[in-house]
Amino acid sequence: MRKFKEFIIEKLILICGIASIIFVALIFLFLLKEGLALFKIIPFKSFLFGRNWYPISEPAQLGILPLILGSLWVTVGAAIISIPIGVACAVYIAEVAPVKIKEVLKAGIELLAAIPSVVLGFIGMVTLVPWVKHIFNLPTGLTALSGSIMLAFMAMPTIVSIAEDALYSVPKSYKEGALALGATQWQTIYRVLLPAASSGILAAVMLGIGRVIGETMAVMMITGNSAIIPNSILQPVRTLTATIAAEMGETVVGSEHYFALFAIGIVLFVISFAVNVTADLFLHKRK
């Protein structure tokens, strides 16, 4: 009887354990099934490299190049802003800050992570957007840059907390050795600690970027959503995620527009999967 009980519990835990993998597989299969149907109607190449996105015209033009580039601009901009600040913040928290300030900073960063993205989007819309328009003297402030700045805020908590962990896991003897050889605190940080923690910091950066790519609500509210091929960060852009969110309500199930949105979902899935795998590789290298 006891053995039987053990058996049941063991199997139950096993099911819970593999449930997440099953969900992932089912979601991916559904995505593939709905998305790949599009390529019976239009060729893969004209979907990925088409320059026009007019999904409800007759015939529909379903080229997502402007959307991919839009996502790229916003993500690169957010990375440029959030990586230096995030890593520097992690170094400060892990190595420099006194205990009291450290606690306050950590709590603050956790709070930043807790702000819902729609709230950040709303704040960005009323404060950041007019500001960007004014400073750069643009026709409109709804630009990729506004999105990048807002998304940088969202990526920072991820980058800071993981990079900070990476810095902590550098063996203490490295630091002690460097200091004993007469290195200053700054020399120790950038010659010894940062290189030793580099793989963990890279993983932090990748996960931060992953968060930025998948973000939807805030970018939809402040990037202007025009499907042009952007050649500057000061232009409005339309991202992959915002396109799905803005248009999913309109599509009739089974239309080519509907399939196209799922195909965009596949593209997004592939991108964020690649980013996460890269991050995982870096994390494992560290261990």
Partner 1 sequence: MFRRFFTLLILASFCVPALAVKAGDSIQIKGSDTMVNLAQAWAEKYMENNPKVFIAVTGGGSGTGLSSLISNTCDIAMSSRNIKEKEIALAKQRGVNPYEMKVGLDGLAVVVNPKNPVSRLTQGELAQIFSGKITNWKEVGGQDRKIVILSREVNSGTHVYFKEHILRNNDPNSKEEFAPAALMLPSSQAIADEVANNPSAIGYYGMGYISPKQRPLSVAKDAKSEYISPTVENVISGKYPISRPLFIYTNGEPKGLVKEFDDFILSKEGQEIVLKTDFVPIK
Mask for 59-88, x = binds partner 1 (CB under 8 A): -------x----------------------
State the number of CA atoms in the 13 A half-sphere of 175 facing the CB. Answer: 15
DSSP-assigned letter for residue 140: -
- Closer Cβ to partner 1, 97 or 247, answer by number: 247
Q: Supply the minimum distance, in Å, between the C-beta of residue 61 and partner 1.
A: 8
Q: Which residues pair with 61 in a beta bridge?
A: 54
Q: Supply the minimum distance, in Å, between the C-beta of residue 197 and partner 1.
A: 19
Rounded CA Rg of the chain: 23
Residues 163-222 touching partner 1, rule: CB under 8 A, are 207, 210-211, 214, 216, 220-221
Binding residue for partner 1, selected from 99, 114, 180, 253, defined by CB under 8 A = 253
Count of positions (residues) in the chain: 287
Six-digit token string for 249 = 């309500």
The footprint of partner 1 on this chain (CB under 8 A) covers a number of residues equal to: 52
Binding residue for partner 1, selected from 251, 259, 260, 282, defined by CB under 8 A = 251
- Closer Cβ to partner 1, 9 or 13, answer by number: 13
Label residues 112-133 b or e (16+ Cβ within 10 Å = b): eeeeebeebbebbbeebbeebb
Residues 107-136 touching partner 1, rule: CB under 8 A, are 130, 133
Question: Beta-carbon neighbour count of residue 3 at 10 Å?
Answer: 7
Q: Supply the minimum distance, in Å, between the C-beta of residue 55 and partner 1.
A: 6
As to burial, measured by CB atoms within 10 angstroms (0-12 exposed, 13-18 middle, 19+ buried), residue 205 is buried
As to burial, measured by CB atoms within 10 angstroms (0-12 exposed, 13-18 middle, 19+ buried), residue 39 is middle
Binding residue for partner 1, selected from 176, 254, 284, 285, defined by CB under 8 A = 254
Question: Beta-carbon neighbour count of residue 282 at 10 Å?
Answer: 20
- For residues 231 and 221, give the distance between their C-alpha atoms in angstroms, rounded to a whole number: 21
Stretch of 16-24, 76-84, 87-95, 107-115 lying at the interface with partner 1 (CB under 8 A): 16-24
Stretch of 19-27, 86-94, 104-112, 149-157 lying at the interface with partner 1 (CB under 8 A): 19-27
DSSP string for residues in 17-53: HHHHHHHHHHHHHHHHHHHHGGGGTS-HHHHHH-S-E
- Closer Cβ to partner 1, 93 or 142, answer by number: 142
Mask for 20-59, x = binds partner 1 (CB under 8 A): x--xx--x--xx--x-----------------xxxxxx--
Q: Are strands 53-54 and 61-62 parallel, antiparallel or unpaired?
A: antiparallel
Residues found near partner 1 in the complex (CB under 8 A): 20, 23-24, 27, 30-31, 34, 52-57, 66, 130, 133, 139-140, 142, 207, 210-211, 214, 216, 220-221, 224-228, 236, 238, 244-255, 261, 265, 268-269, 272-273, 276
